[in-house]
Amino acid sequence: GNSVTQMEGPVTLSEEAFLTINCTYTATGYPSLFWYVQYPGEGLQLLLKATKADDKGSNKGFEATYRKETTSFHLEKGSVQVSDSAVYFCALSDLGSGYSTLTFGKGTMLLVSP
């Protein structure tokens, strides 16, 4: 079956530091890949996505590249801010029965200090 593995957190960084959160996946077929962000007490917001190999998703300074050869979709940001503190979920979807069922990683908490 499908699965997503994320690095365990929390990841603790100072403001303006470089961020990498690793994500690898196993899937049959050609899934789409997503990063979602969850702020405390809230639901999930789509951060970025990529639908095929070598696609790069980007948003709000975050980016991730769909690497089929290494089955990875690592999240990066060049300079984090305190407001980026949240839990980040890597996810994949495959059409399965015709709709997009999501498989989530366990989430990685990011804590950014001033």
Partner 1 sequence: GAVVSQHPSWVICKSGTSVKIECRSLDFQATTMFWYRQFPKQSLMLMATSNEGSKATYEQGVEKDKFLINHASLTLSTLTVTSAHPEDSSFYICSATELGISNQPQHFGDGTRLSIL
The residues that touch partner 1, with contacts defined as CB under 8 A, are 32, 34, 36, 41-46, 49, 51, 89, 93, 95, 98-102, 104-107, 109
Least distance CB 7 / partner 1 (angstroms): 14
Judged by CB, which is closer to partner 1: 53, or 95?
A: 95
Are 26 and 90 spatial neighbours (Cβ–Cβ below 8 Å)?
no
**Which residues contact residue 96 at a Cβ distance below 8 angstroms, ignoring those fewer than 6 apart?**
none
Judged by CB, which is closer to partner 1: 2, or 17?
A: 2
Judged by CB, which is closer to partner 1: 79, or 101?
A: 101
> How many C-beta neighbours within 10 Å does residue 79 have?
11
| Burial status of residue 59 (CB atoms within 10 A of its CB: 0-12, 13-18, 19 or more) | middle
Least distance CB 79 / partner 1 (angstroms): 26
